[in-house]
Amino acid sequence: MCGGSDAGVSGVIFPRRRQVAMDDETARLEMVELQIKGRGISSPRLLAALRQVPRHEFVPAHLQGLAYDDGPLPIDCGQTISQPYIVAIMTDLLNLTGEETVLEIGTGSGYQAAVLSCLAGQVYSIERHEVLAATARRTLAALGYHNVQVHAADGCFGWPVAAPYDGILVTAAAPRPPQPLLEQLAVDGRLILPVGGRGGQFLERWIRCDEKNFEREILFPVTFVPLRGKYGWAENEWEPAH
Ligand code: SAH
């Protein structure tokens, strides 16, 4: 069971269906050219990963024709798979070189985790909905992404046994950075997360300078579903504005 839904609260845009049917690989290469490279992302390793990961395998069957369109899509449990450009830019902000240990909070479909697995040494991803965690685990294994571990848990606590992390990505909007995630960041490690509520969120990057100090950058406005759990939003704090 999904246990509650955040549907309708994430500003999901339903892109128009492509007029001419394209095969998945052609559509994926075009997505990378127009939506990712075309918007200024140039890291060759990241572009190669995005050309490789079959996003259509991570979306519900009836939406596969929209998998390479320029927007988020609904997945099970009232959640969303993020817009490809958002996945790209959040990943880019981690500056991965190949050996890092990375933590993702909010596995959702598993697509972001697959992209990370191409660029880092080991990826841990935490999802609070068991149904989503199980589906993502199956998809990732079937596609051969073996350096990803998906756990069903409240990601607000991080995943202490594998800490410290060189990078932490949170793919749901938090009221503020959960303290355990800051604590589990390695020195020089980066935490990328959307901060804010229904009314407005900004993507932030926190870099751990030393044991005690962090540098915080506020980057640009974004729209994510809420982070739930211990340091997330309660249901009644994420209500529609009247
Ligand atoms: N990264 C995903 C997008 C996920 S949407 C992808 O590539 O598809 C955000 C996800 O965060 C949702 O699946 C939601 O269930 C999950 N989430 C929200 N609060 C959470 C928490 N406290 N711990 C773990 N996952 C959480």
For residue 136, the SS3 value is helix
Q: What is the pLDDT along the chain (242 residues), one digit of tens a residue?
A: 565 556 444 445 555 555 456 799 999 999 999 999 999 999 999 999 999 999 999 999 999 999 999 999 999 999 999 999 999 999 999 999 999 999 999 999 999 999 999 999 999 999 999 999 999 999 999 999 999 999 999 999 999 999 999 999 999 999 999 999 999 999 999 999 999 999 899 999 999 999 999 999 999 999 999 999 999 999 888 866 54
Pick the catalytic residue from 10, 82, 117, 125.
82
Q: Would you say how long the chain is, in residues?
A: 242
Question: Which tokens sit at 121?
Answer: 């040494």
Question: What is the atom index within ligand 1 of the atom nearest the CA of 109?
Answer: 8
Give 88-135 pLDDT, tens digit per residue: 999 999 999 999 999 999 999 999 999 999 999 999 999 999 999 999
One-letter amino acid at 75 equals I
Distances (CA, A) of 48 to 107, 115, 167: 21, 10, 20
pLDDT of residue 238: 85
Check: CB of residue 186 under 8 Å from CB of residue 210: no
Q: Where are the beta strands (DSSP E) in the chain?
A: 73-74, 80-81, 101-105, 122-127, 148-152, 165-170, 185-197, 200-208, 214-222
Give ligand 1 pocket residues (Cβ under 6 A).
79-82, 105-106, 108-109, 111-112, 126-129, 132, 154-156, 171-172, 225, 227-229, 232
Nearest to 209 by CA among 234, 233, 230, 191: 191
**Beta strand pairing status for 122-127 and 148-152?**
parallel
Radius of gyration of the chain, Cα coordinates, nearest whole angstrom:
17
Q: 156-192 burial, b for 16+ CB within 10 Å, e for fewer? A: bbbbeebbbbbbbbbbbbbbebbebbbebbeeebbbb
pLDDT of residue 7: 46
Closest protein CA for atom 4 of ligand 1: 108
Our answer to whether residue 82 is catalytic in this structure is yes
DSSP 226: B
DSSP class per residue in 159-175: -GGG--EEEEEE-SBBS
